[in-house]
Amino acid sequence: MIAGEQLRLRLHDGKLIKDRRYHLRTYPNCFVAQELIDWLVSHKEAPDRATAVCLMQHLMDHDIIHHVCDKRSVLKDAKLLYRFRKDDGTFPFNTEVKIFMRGQQLFEHLIGDKDSILQLRVEHGVAYQRSFPGCQLIDWLLQNMEAESRRQALDLCRILQEHGIIQHVTKKYDFFDSGLLYQFCINFCRRRHLSELLSESEEDDEDVVILTQEDNHLESPFVLHKSHPQEGSSAFQSGKYLEQATSGRRRSLTQLHSAGFPPFVQLNSTSVICNPKSVLSRSYTSEELLAPGAPFMKKVLTVIGDDLAWGFVVRGMAPCYVQAVDPGSPAAAAGVKVRQFLCQVNGQCVLYLDYRTVSRLVMTGPRTVVLEVMEPLE
């Protein structure tokens, strides 16, 4: 969403977005797909036209842009008119998006203040960039008329924390009107490269994680480090470090923020592909899971994602199963365990879907994920 908005503003500045006439009808604030592809290649946002089309299709799939008549679900490199949903008021402003945009607005306002409360602060010998005491943020919200009372300001800050916009610097505490230090989890002002939208390779069952160089710093919640697996752990048993590709959305994080991936650690320069051995003793079909008397028990689990993701890895072609769980993650706290099979995600049956489709459902859905799982009886 951030990358799409930054692109929209650049295209307005470059006059690629304007009112256009077609078949005696005027379409306001639209662009010609072919001209946009030309622009992306000439401005080195994409190495070739095919990649540029993939980038724009990604925005289209996530309701950032659409065909002016909504007759096409696929972006074509042709003289066809498309438009940003932000420009015609059709962007789906659900509750989570509104909270996300409120967080972005507050961050940009805070970072632009001459005497910003976002400063380098030290707590217990550790320095935290752009951090702030909770009470100072509440004071700022009241002074800038962002809230009418301290209670309303406190409620707003807790909502921002629940949706992964801000966090306690050590993630130990909820938000309080006190001197505890907090940080924004996202640097909204960083320029997003469109190439970050293409997150993962779709080759076979291999999981690839890539981070941009700009995300390889302490301010980014997307810098990952692979810890050494302990004996008996269900974590990935191959690979040391992961680096060099996308992070913007949570798109690749369900599969990648698995056991042994604490945040904020410097990476080396070696890219690694992890393809762990399955934790299942044998494969199962969906029919076997649903058969009367099958040795499985159903559970409903609610996982509330944090600033990284949810903390579990999904594998399998159908049915999907949990391959690994980060012991300190929201998934572990909710009761997600290895070898559980996924039956439903947010009320949708996923027994016959592969892991890529299931992962996409989780990553493009709300921050709170309701899972119906089946686990083997002890």
155 neighbors 178 (Cβ within 8 angstroms)? no
Domain 95-184 has CATH 1.10.10.10: yes
Nearest by Cα to 179 from 129, 124, 136: 136
Q: Do the first three CATH levels of 1-84 and 95-184 match, i.e. the same topology?
A: yes
Q: Let me know: does 119 contact 131? Beta carbons within 8 Å.
A: yes
Break the chain into its structural domains and give their ranges: 1-84, 95-184, 286-376
Closest by CA position to 340, among listed 308, 296, 378:
296
Beta-bridge partners for 115: none
What pLDDT is recorded for position 276? 60
Orientation of helix 150-162 relative to helix 95-112, angle to 10°? 110
Q: Give the model's pLDDT for residue 198.
A: 65
Sign of CA dihedral 74, 76, 80, 83: positive
State in words which class domain 1-84 has: mainly alpha
pLDDT for res 307: 66
Task: Compute the Cα dihedral for 91, 97, 102, 105 and give only its sign.
Answer: negative
Adjacent-strand bridge partners of 31: 82
Q: List beta partners, residue 66.
A: 83
Q: Which overall architecture, per CATH, does domain 286-376 show?
A: Roll (2.30)
112 φ, ψ (degrees, to nearest 5): -85, -10
Q: What does the radius of gyration of the chain's CA atoms come to, in whole angstroms?
A: 22
Q: Hey, what are 41's tokens?
A: 């290649």
Token pair listed for 269: 């320069």
pLDDT at 346: 87
Cα end-to-end span (Å), the chain: 44
* Greatest alpha-carbon span in the chain: 70
* Residue 304 near residue 367 (C-beta atoms within 8 A): yes
In the chain (378 residues long), the average pLDDT of successive 10-residue segments reads 84 90 86 93 89 90 88 88 87 78 88 89 87 94 92 93 90 90 84 66 34 39 35 34 31 36 34 58 83 85 80 87 87 90 89 85 82 85
Residue 287 CA: distances (Å) to CA of 80, 313, 343, 345, 375: 46, 23, 12, 18, 15
